[in-house]
Amino acid sequence: MDVYIARQPIFTKNKRVYAYELLFRQSMGKKLGQVSGNRATTSVLSSAFLTEGIEKISGSKPCFINFTEELLGRDVAGFFAKTKIVIEILEDVEPSEKVIEACRNLSEKGYLIALDDFVYARKLEPLIELADIIKVDFRLSTMEEIERMLYRLSRHRLKFLAEKIETHEEFDRALKLGFTYFQGYFFSQPETLRIREVTSVKVNLLNLLAEVNRKKTTVDRLDSIISMDLGITYKLLRYINSAYYYLLHEVTSVRQAIVYLGEREIRRFVTLVIISELASDKPEELVCLSIIRGRFCELLAEPGQPVTDQSDLFLLGLFSLLDALLDTPMKEIMDSLPLAESVKKALVEGKGELFPYIRLVIAYERGDHSTCEKILPELGLSGAEVMEHYLTAVGFADRVCSRR
């Protein structure tokens, strides 16, 4: 059975990833609304922990996973390590004696319990007493309702998670209200709509990015560009001499590294390093998401697919969040980079032959089933292939991010 899942980061106040929520996407052609909560959760648990391996999906971060009343009663959570999962109790679970007893047993064993889409009701008090985290949907409740709820719950030892935070203004508001964790797509959007002057350091990095990605750049030019930047040179030599490559002899020069890796791989490595530098004041997950998108787009067009220039697709995905990284309009950024017109057209206008790839990637991230179903036939892909490519991209990004 094909099961498709995605992950959504949960951030701390410092915009560092605390955990991931694992989200059911689709199973055997059925969407979430067509599959029971029990089936969705067991599919996620089976795929993440038993089939793919949780380390491949979330690294060392714990996973928030939805639990229904039936699964709580059957103690399904007890089969999994308490350091790996957070028990997320769905809003439609009734606080019956059986549910409360199950939650009490899990809590006593050291499992963290989160209440999802929380709206206060007196009958929930027994669950509130056992909960560690309360998730509040900023699209479900007004600010006045949220403030009253927080005041009512202030006597409990709880941490609060603001979910569906879509803008930085909402993030700042939730932070001031005392929320500890944050979930949503605010981190992948520019922090301001006004045009912000890019610092001189970032201008230099953008110029370097432009040079590295020029089609006519030679090995000599790449050697010269990289050698001028001590930080990139250090990272390159450390990377090439890591255990990943099992080299018999140490590589001691940039030119040697270029020759060993090849022009395509060296461009990719330097591009990733520069993206990381550009995002030094941004959440690390924003860089990881950029890398996931780059690798994901690239994998969607393996040989035999309509588009065969995978390097352009890698840059398409990688650069799809540059406006958020630089807080600068995408058009302004694209005007300064020597990229293929098809990449620029997809990122700036949302058109062209490459646009369906980045559209599919974003739709998959957000669980937009109808958009995915429209694009899959157009690209000659199956849902199973997309899921496999997504997990490969996540693994690739996590390896790269761990070396930052």
Q: Is residue 206 located within the same domain as residue 184?
A: no
Q: Is residue 236 located within the same domain as residue 327?
A: yes
Q: Is residue 130 located within the same domain as residue 265?
A: no
Residue 193 lies in a domain: no
Residue 164 lies in a domain: yes
* pLDDT score of 26: 47
Question: Which distant-in-sequence residues (6+ apart) come within 8 Å of 379 by Cβ?
Answer: 300, 301, 305, 306, 356, 357, 360
Q: Find the helix packing angle between 200-212 and 263-278, rounded to 10°.
A: 160
* pLDDT score of 315: 87
- Over its C-alpha atoms, the chain yields an Rg (Å, rounded) of 23
Question: Which distant-in-sequence residues (6+ apart) come within 8 Å of 200 by Cβ?
Answer: none
Q: Is residue 45 located within the same domain as residue 17?
A: yes
Q: Is residue 378 located within the same domain as residue 235?
A: yes
Residue 195 lies in a domain: no
337: helix, strand or coil: coil
Decide the pairing of beta strands 3-11 and 181-183. antiparallel
Q: Is residue 69 located within the same domain as residue 150?
A: yes
Q: Would residue 164 be called left, alpha or beta, if left means φ above 0 and alpha means ψ between -120 and 50 degrees?
A: left
Q: Is residue 112 located within the same domain as residue 212?
A: no
Enter the tokens of residue 308: 């065969």
387: helix, strand or coil: helix
Residue 320 CA to residue 362 CA, distance in Å, equals 10
Using the Cα atoms of residue 139, residue 140, residue 145 and residue 147 in order, give the sign of their dihedral.
negative
Of 157, 188, 219, which residue sits at a domain end? 188
Where does residue 105 rank: exposed (0-12), middle (13-18), buried (19+ CB within 10 A)?
A: middle
Total domain count, the chain: 2
Q: What is the pTM of this model?
A: 0.75
Q: Is residue 182 located within the same domain as residue 221?
A: no
Residue 258 lies in a domain: yes
Of 130, 156, 188, which residue sits at a domain end? 188
* pLDDT score of 86: 93
Residue 194 lies in a domain: no
* pLDDT score of 29: 44
What CATH number should be reported for the domain holding residue 56? 3.20.20.450
**Residues facing 163 on adjacent strands:** 137, 183
Q: Is residue 17 located within the same domain as residue 94?
A: yes
Q: Is residue 274 located within the same domain as residue 144?
A: no
Residue 66 lies in a domain: yes
Q: Is residue 177 located within the same domain as residue 296?
A: no
Residue 121 lies in a domain: yes
Q: Is residue 110 located within the same domain as residue 256?
A: no
* pLDDT score of 402: 64
Of 161, 188, 215, which residue sits at a domain end? 188
Question: What are the CA-CA distances from residue 50 to residues 24, 26, 42, 46, 350 (Å)?
Answer: 15, 18, 11, 5, 39
- Segments forming the whole domain that contains residue 372: 200-402
Query: Which stretches in the chain have pLDDT values below 50?
Result: 1-2, 25-52, 192-198
Nearest alpha carbon to residue 16 among 287, 320, 396, 293: 287
Q: Where are the beta strands (DSSP E) in 171-316?
A: 181-183
